[in-house]
Structure 1
Amino acid sequence: MDGGKFSRVKVHSLLSVVSSSPVAPGKVHRLSPLDQAMGHHTIHIVFYYESNPFEDGRFSLDIDNLRGSLSKMLDEYPIVTGRLTREAEGGWQVRCNDAGVRILHASVNTTMDEWLRSADASEERDLTVWEDMPQDPSFWSPFRIQINNFKCGGLAIGLSCTHMHADITSATMLIKSWTDVHSGQPLTHSPIFHLPPTPSSQCNSLPSFSALHSPTTPANIGTVTMKFSSSVIENCLLQVQSQCPDATPFDVLVAFFWSRIARWQEPSFNNHKCSLSVCVDSRSAGHSQVPFGYFGNALHFSVLNVEADKLLSGGLGQVSQYVHRHVAKAREDEFWSVMSPLDEHRKEGEGPFTIYGPRLTCINMEHMTVVENGEALMYAAAFRKGERPVHVSYHVGKVEGQGLIMVMPSAEGGLARNVTVMLPEEQIANICKDQTLIDLEPKMIVSGKR
């Protein structure tokens, strides 16, 4: 916790869990150029459950019950239990030595309902205790799972990992695979660790990463997460239908926040244009080269430029159309085109980059809205039948500069979305008291400082 603030989360124990079957000796996984470019950032996810699936009737946490299903799941993910090491050319690779995953057990001195009403983003990070990578990572676990017991009997499972190993979809899939194994079901998506060779004809340029920077001194970033109901999003989509008939919840929410933030944020002007970095998951387009089960980074970043006066005065429909058209232009070859140039930058000593923050960045997770039986991937992660998460929280570590907007599915389902906004603190204060936002009646879930 920051500033010596009292924490309601107390960690009691730390142990390691290894896979149930030993990894073949000498197995090594080389991280892709895109994986290595993400090395400045981390991923933090918290799954909230109303009941504890690891109870045995006598204890609040049955370690054997937890360890057994986790070990079986880790059989399918050898790079999760491995350790980072440098390859001959200087890049990172994972030595799959089955050194294990760190598991922390903690108690939370409040009920889950009270926590979700009162916890800020800084306190929520106590549910995913993280240790930055040391200079020598040979004994350091790049994945940490924290089991948090609430006074009401509820449970929060916190997952933290390096962004080099996994993007948000991959990290979510890891927990979903655990629930599949624990409930005796086949894996929804078996992990795939290698993509086909990069087509040389598509390694032409570095358009997606041309504006990224090396890590800088972090600004004071504030965070707020809010839920928008299905009815509110439906009304927004009806409002923009004449100008953007195929708009998605992502389009209208990004258009709304970008146009509101631009009123307070010093924009990235380029000939009087405002810039937005748009992140889409290449799995979302159904590309055969990037299957949904791919474990690693399958993100495509691109820049949307809009004239400042059009952004500020264009209205929700017009700006939604700008966003929608830009996302629709994403092509499979754009994902491939970044690989070779990133590898060249790595060999020249460039990176890792600050991916999230030099300019305002937004993450599109619409591909996760309907994944299994009409339910979003993260809310299908049930250890017991019918006991789905009541909330799933996402954070990206070391966001800098102009900030980050994440648009995620909500537990309500349908068109409802959770939006996590990470901005300089004074802009968080502005957005929270913005009357246009208040009129949409979002439910605040966590807020405050990072």
Structure 2
Amino acid sequence: MPAADGRSRVVVHSKLTVVSSRPVVPGKAHTLTALDHAMGLHSLHVVFYYKEQLFGSIDLDPLRVSLSETLSLYPQVTGRVDKNPDGNWEVKCNDAGVRVLMARVGTTLDEWLTSGDGSEERLLTMWDDMPDDHSIWSPYRIQINEFEGGGVAIGLSCTHMHADPTCATLLIKSWAETHRREAISHPLFVDESSALGGRPVDQVINKKSSAAYYEAKSVASKTTSLPVKKMGTATFKFSNSTIKRELNSCPGATPFDLLAAMFWTQIARLKPSESKTKHSFSVCIDFRKKKSFGYYGNALHFSLLSVPEVEQLEREDGLAHVVGVVHRHVLSQKEEDFWSGMDWFEAQKGEGDKFGEPFKLYGPELTCVSMEHMLDDCQPLMYGVMFEKEKKPVHVSYHVGNMEGEGLIMVMPAPEGGLARTVMVTLPEEELARLCEAEAISSLNPTMLLSGRQAI
């Protein structure tokens, strides 16, 4: 919530541009894929919170030096977007640099995490959509926020055309490791020929359900206007012991399966009775392989899971049955389904090989994003983003801009690792308030953050 006098608690006091430490080779360009183009209506926002005061005090010089060194490895980050002769977006890799903002937050970090909300948190990653003159627009913004009493939040914003949550996380992780003078453990690469394992160019388009789903979403986005709703966001943290206990009755299921099923059923109960003839649920998973984990760009796959009256299903057969439904759906999504979707995006090219128009992939149905792949030996990668040794983030948030429809659920690892999970839920405000009071969720004793209310 804002300050008592209504003013924002986040005040940006300086702006600058940080360029790479080595000049970019002239004429280099980074090609955006068909999936990257499809993400063009969305933006991505990530915030890393640190309890301790980093660097002794917020001195931009050491940060700027290490950021410049990191950017020299990734010219596609410092460049500017432009249209190629086909009319498709590409990144002109140049030395234009990344916008960096410095801000002060008029409260302590602890107070912020308990009293703030999702809309206020977005002020830690201030963002400007692409203007008509895109030659001067930075696709990336970094904001360093200093809290009273020493806490720090580092926010990254970018267009979703450039990066998905994994890519954005690894970019900041690379910066942190460069700052500590350590080798980059998960470097990003932009070799499109080997990206995600590659696909034979002579392979025919596979008319599987994933392609049909994207086709339906594309058509709906052009023909259906959704009512504008004021959305709110709340964050729930579930302990390792809680998730382990709940999974005992769900053999083979993952924490994502459990939490996706639980929040899906509870949110379904909040819907008006006339909308309960069928419940659709969009599942988003990352399809990076181990050998291509550092792929720069988008590697997300969306699929549709539909059942008649999911909350009725829970009442009759128990939550474990719904968990099983989600689990089987996730397991059913194979690499070929991902490539079927990629084939469909490629097939939307029009005259002159121009990609199809972007549409909102997050929505209109309730969308749930799995970040199970972000665990390395049960340790969450986002909590390994340490600018100083052993000073891990105490919390990491992810937001998707321009999301529409019924809402968004993001299930990600929690700081303690193992089976512990953090769930960020974005819903219409009236539904979110009721969800936060749902007994099925509160009985698991989650820690609540950034919901504008006190912890359960």
TM-score by length of 1: 0.91
Superposed, which structure 2 residues align to 1:248-263 within 5 Å?
Answer: 248-263=254-269
Q: CA separation in 1, counterparts of 2:392 and 2:381?
A: 11
* Partner residue in 2 for 1:151: 148
Letter of the 1:246 counterpart? G
Would you say 1:340 and 2:337 are equivalent positions? no
* Partner residue in 2 for 1:211: 216
Would you say 1:70 and 2:72 are equivalent positions? no
* Partner residue in 2 for 1:407: 411
Shift of 1:61: 2.2
Shift of 1:370: 2.5
The answer to whether the 8 A contact 1:269-1:275 is kept is no
Letter of the 2:401 counterpart? G
The answer to whether the 8 A contact 1:198-1:339 is kept is no
Q: CA-to-partner distance for each residue in 1:299-328, whole Å, 9 max, x for gaps?
A: 111111223243553321100111111111
Choose between structure 1 and 2: higher helix proportion.
Answer: 2
Q: CA-to-partner distance for each residue in 1:140-168, whole Å, 9 max, x for gaps?
A: 00100000111111111000001100000
* Partner residue in 1 for 2:279: 274
Alignment partner of 1:147: what SS?
Answer: strand
1:437 alignment partner, one of 441, 444, 448: 441
Q: CA separation in 2, counterparts of 1:219 and 1:384?
A: 41
* Partner residue in 2 for 1:397: 401
1:225 alignment partner, one of 235, 247, 266: 235
* Partner residue in 1 for 2:158: 161
Would you say 1:194 and 2:204 are equivalent positions? no
Runs of 4+ in 1 over 6 A off after TM superposition: 1-4, 267-270
More displaced stretch, 412-421 vs 193-202: 193-202
Superposed, which structure 2 residues align to 1:110-129 within 5 Å?
Answer: 110-129=107-126
Using a 3 Å threshold, how does the CA distance of structure 1 residues 448 and 356 change in structure 2: closer, same or farther? farther
More displaced stretch, 32-41 vs 306-315: 306-315
Alignment partner of 2:135: what SS?
Answer: helix
Would you say 1:52 and 2:59 are equivalent positions? no
The answer to whether the 8 A contact 2:114-2:452 is kept is no
Q: CA separation in 2, counterparts of 1:368 and 1:265?
A: 32
* Partner residue in 2 for 1:15: 16
The answer to whether the 8 A contact 1:407-1:420 is kept is yes
Letter of the 2:54 counterpart? P
Aligned length: 434
Shift of 1:277: 0.7
Report the identity percentage. Answer: 52
Alignment partner of 1:201: what SS?
Answer: coil
Q: CA separation in 1, counterparts of 2:308 and 2:335?
A: 27
Question: CA RMSD for the aligned pairs?
Answer: 2.3
* Partner residue in 2 for 1:328: 331
The answer to whether the 8 A contact 2:234-2:432 is kept is yes
Using a 3 Å threshold, how does the CA distance of structure 1 residues 151 and 269 change in structure 2: closer, same or farther? closer
TM-score by length of 2: 0.90
Using a 3 Å threshold, how does the CA distance of structure 1 residues 82 and 316 change in structure 2: closer, same or farther? same
Alignment partner of 2:36: what SS?
Answer: helix
Letter of the 2:215 counterpart? S
Structure 2: segments with no counterpart, 5+ residues: none
Alignment partner of 2:49: what SS?
Answer: strand
Letter of the 2:112 counterpart? W
1:418 alignment partner, one of 418, 422, 443: 422
Q: CA separation in 1, counterparts of 2:22 and 2:374?
A: 31
Alignment partner of 2:203: what SS?
Answer: helix
The answer to whether the 8 A contact 1:41-1:398 is kept is yes
Shift of 1:346: 4.8
